[in-house]
Amino acid sequence: MIEVEEVQQAYPSVRLKRAGWLVGVLVRPAKTMRAVVGEEKGAWHIPMLLLTLLILAYVFVAAPLRLQAAQAAPTEPPPGFEYMSPEQQQQYMDAQASAYGTTQTYVFPAVAGVLGIWLGWLVLGGLLHLILTMLGSRSTSATAFNITAWAAVPLAVRLLVQIVYMLAAHRLIAAPGLSGILAADVQGAAAFGRILLGMLDVYLLWQVLLLWLGASVSGGLARARSLSGVLVAMLLYMALAALPVFLAAQISGLNTERPFFLF
């Protein structure tokens, strides 16, 4: 009974300590990432929950703006529209109207965003653990996933900044990251490069720094080797995240700025 009471008394303090890491990651990153590495069990719940809530808020703020932009954009009927029967024309119009429904503007983006967060965390965390282990790290997979989750706190800051911007400016973010360097109508390898550039911003660099701080103290690797492992894991992840978006854009013929994965 004494042991149970001690655990019950200690658990709130542990939870509050981990909640304090949200601020610590931003103001004292090295010390905070060392504390994250010191956790033997899963300590990823707080940042992942925060990212999940923020991506849902992002979707609900962006949905009406996206709908407004789609309705304002000029639409051209498909070839041979004038030769269609009235029933076929009505079916086409109904299909266009359904594209602006609640499911398409809220539900699907919300599901895609949440899945992107969790799958991105699993993929990047797995890659980080695999590559660091190949380089000689002795850290566990649990440590790698903890590091990956807490290193994503800058991405939560990015989401918050984007939400505030959309609420203040009443418009979507046209060209995220460095995607504006290339024209929106580029094709082929340049289109793939545009997607990758859309993922590059100061928040991603901030994330890489935190990953490096965590990796450098987690498995006994030298700082240079830890940095190389983090960079390889991030580049592989970015390529894996951009590839399906690029293929979908090629099939649909639509321009895509960036994948919905946050990691």
What single string gives the DSSP state of each residue in 165-228? Answer: HHHHH-S--SS-TTGGGS-TT--THHHHHHHHHHH-SHHHHHHHHHHHHHHHHHSS--HHHHHH
pLDDT value at position 244?
79
pTM of the complete model:
0.82
Lowest-pLDDT choice from 15-19, 26-30, 34-38: 15-19
Residue 82 CA to residue 78 CA, distance in Å, equals: 9
pLDDT value at position 106?
87
Give the number of other CB atoms < 10 A from CB of residue 70: 14
Residue 222 CA to residue 164 CA, distance in Å, equals: 40
Residue that wins the pLDDT comparison between 108 and 251? 108
Q: Is the pLDDT of residue 11 over 50?
A: no
Average pLDDT over all residues of the chain: 82
